[in-house]
């Protein structure tokens, strides 16, 4: 664990106290609302953790760089996710070194466990009486799981049209889930929960959103540490993320910057965003620090990243890293969601597939070149939301008792990756 000295504004550096996690920067508010980030002063560098003596597994392998110690943590075995080489998709796109960080492998099957783990651990440590989250999905499920483990009640304000399996997941962890007809109506409820009752917010709780709990965001630094270590401390040229409020984007960026300061790595990657409605792209173009709220042009299948306005923290990372943003359509998301499942064996949520759709677009636009090393973040499991993908799948075969008809039907189907001859051999038929 690294001792914190408080929080500070990401945009103007104004200092805040360690318990000011439930606010944005007063100085920046009128101009361009900004999130606060955890401030360690020089202590992270003074301690100088050594990359060659890292111990343990998962997120806690990097515990020396987190704001809470492993002993005090509420842990479910988060982090330590595999980095897959996407050989088939990489080849088809002409970029051999394409990798995917498989965050479906976390305890609640999404990357949000890294955030929820640190946020709920801090909440428990400071004596919070309840966890509260505004979430249509993964953030709520993760908060609910860690709250359950911590023995804290969890209240989630969600949208009426939230995806079924995610609601079930939140409720299974025994959270109180409140469905609100209009998404914006969640803010006054959240504000009351935080300001009047002192419940600990792991998610955004006022609009315009500046991002999630600054302590929770620190958990995402471990994505950067893991990617670097899994790549033998070589830094990818590009990290491509599905982005909504940019918590993971700023967390990862902070992780890479810390490693550079510690001498663990020798350069920084470009951070790239897959977004739905184009708020970041518009701000990059206009040069403004205030994110525009974009028109809701279509009903996206990427429900987890469907906010029409992004945040300054996300914009800051794209600018600092020399990155870019691209919008991904339903068609592109579905195409890559199916390719990931069919050719790489990875079934991910539509929002996550947006990262690969974006890689394809960044190659097309000339940002990503053939020899670049690219890491895409696959943020959540496909089992969380199956509605969009089901109509695009092969029909289910029903067995009516006639095995001969069944096997001749199966042998007539084109088998992926097999030649006609191979099929005859495997079927054992002449």
Ligand X SMILES: Cc1ncc(COP(=O)(O)O)c(C=O)c1O
Collapsed DSSP state (helix, strand, coil) of residue 144: helix
Q: Give the largest CA-CA distance in the chain.
A: 78
In whole angstroms, how close is the CB of 215 to Zn ion at the nearest point? Answer: 18
| Residues between 342 and 401 with contacts to ligand X, criterion CB under 6 A | 349, 351-352, 379-380
| Residues between 266 and 305 with contacts to ligand X, criterion CB under 6 A | 304-305
Looking at 13-21, 89-97, 238-246, 327-335, which segment touches ligand X (CB under 6 A)?
Answer: 238-246
E strands in 243-342: 270-275, 325-327
Structure tokens at 359: 């890689």
Q: Is 137 in the site for ligand X (CB under 6 A)?
A: yes
Partner whose footprint covers residue 108, from ligand X, Zn ion, none (CB < 5 to 8 Å by kind): none
CA distance 156 to 179: 8
Q: Is 422 in the site for Zn ion (CB under 5 A)?
A: no
Q: Is 291 in the site for Zn ion (CB under 5 A)?
A: no
| Residues between 1 and 20 with contacts to Zn ion, criterion CB under 5 A | 9, 11-12, 14
Return the number of other C-beta atoms located less than 10 Å from residue 205's C-beta.
26
In whole angstroms, how close is the CB of 15 to Zn ion at the nearest point? Answer: 10
Structure tokens at 347: 């079934």
Compare residues 244 and 375 and give the one whose CB is closer to ligand X: 244
E strands in 225-381: 238-242, 270-275, 325-327, 374-378
Are 348 and 337 a contacting pair, CB within 8 Å?
Answer: yes
| Residue 19 per-residue DSSP state | T
What's the number of CA atoms in the CB half-sphere (13 Å) around residue 231?
26
Looking at 237-245, 324-332, 333-341, 387-395, which segment touches ligand X (CB under 6 A)?
Answer: 237-245
Identify the CA nearest to 225 among candidates 375, 69, 42: 375
The residue within the footprint of Zn ion, chosen from 4, 21, 24, 28 (CB under 5 A), is 28
Partner whose footprint covers residue 9, from Zn ion, ligand X, none (CB < 5 to 8 Å by kind): Zn ion
User: In terms of C-beta density within 10 A (0-12 exposed, 13-18 middle, 19 or more buried), how is residue 297 classed?
Assistant: exposed
Give me the residue whose beta carbon is nearest to ligand X: 304
Q: Is 27 in the site for Zn ion (CB under 5 A)?
A: yes
Looking at 51-59, 246-254, 329-337, 359-367, which segment touches ligand X (CB under 6 A)?
Answer: 246-254
Compare residues 248 and 324 and give the one whose CB is closer to ligand X: 248
CA distance 384 to 286: 36
Compare residues 177 and 249 and give the one whose CB is closer to ligand X: 249
| Contact residues for Zn ion, defined by CB under 5 A | 9, 11-12, 14, 25, 27-28, 34
């Amino acid at each position: 664990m690294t001792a914190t000295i408080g929080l500070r504004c990401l945009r103007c550096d104004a200092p805040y106290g360690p318990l000011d996690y439930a606010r944005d920067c007063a100085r920046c508010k009128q101009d361009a609302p900004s999130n606060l980030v955890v401030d360690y002063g020089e202590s992270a560098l003074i301690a100088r953790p050594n990359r060659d003596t890292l111990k343990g597994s998962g997120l806690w392998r990097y515990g020396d760089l987190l704001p809470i110690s492993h002993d005090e943590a509420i842990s479910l075995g988060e982090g330590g996710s595999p980095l897959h080489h996407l050989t088939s998709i990489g080849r088809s796109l002409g970029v051999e070194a394409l990798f995917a960080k498989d965050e479906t492998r976390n305890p609640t099957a999404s990357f949000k466990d890294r955030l929820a783990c640190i946020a709920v651990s801090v909440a428990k440590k400071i004596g919070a009486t309840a966890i509260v989250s505004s979430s249509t999905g993964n953030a709520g499920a993760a908060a609910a799981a860690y709250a359950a483990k911590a023995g804290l009640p969890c209240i989630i304000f969600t949208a009426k049209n939230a995806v079924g399996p995610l609601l079930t997941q939140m409720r299974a962890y025994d959270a109180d889930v409140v469905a609100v007809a209009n998404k914006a109506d969640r803010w006054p409820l959240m504000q009351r929960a935080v300001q009047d009752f002192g419940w600990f917010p792991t998610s955004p709780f006022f609009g315009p959103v500046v991002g999630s709990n600054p302590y929770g965001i620190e958990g995402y630094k471990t994505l950067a540490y893991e990617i670097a270590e899994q790549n033998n401390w070589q830094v990818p040229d590009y990290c491509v993320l599905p982005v909504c409020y940019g918590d993971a984007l700023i967390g990862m960026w902070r992780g890479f910057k810390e490693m550079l300061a510690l001498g663990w790595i020798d350069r920084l990657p470009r951070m790239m965003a897959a977004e739905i409605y184009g708020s970041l792209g518009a701000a990059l173009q206009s040069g403004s620090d205030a994110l525009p709220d974009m028109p809701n042009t279509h009903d996206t299948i990427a429900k987890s990243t469907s906010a029409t306005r992004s945040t300054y923290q996300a914009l800051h990372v794209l600018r600092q890293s020399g990155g870019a943003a691209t919008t991904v359509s339903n068609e592109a998301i579905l195409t890559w969601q199916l390719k990931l499942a069919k050719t790489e064996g990875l079934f991910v949520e539509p929002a996550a597939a947006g990262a690969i759709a974006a890689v394809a677009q960044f190659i097309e636009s000339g940002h990503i070149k053939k020899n670049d090393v690219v890491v895409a973040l696959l943020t959540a499991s496909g089992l969380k939301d199956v509605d969009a993908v089901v109509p695009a799948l092969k029909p289910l075969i029903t067995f009516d008792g006639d095995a001969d008809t069944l096997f001749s039907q199966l042998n007539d189907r084109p088998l992926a990756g097999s030649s006609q001859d191979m099929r005859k051999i495997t079927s054992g038929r002449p």
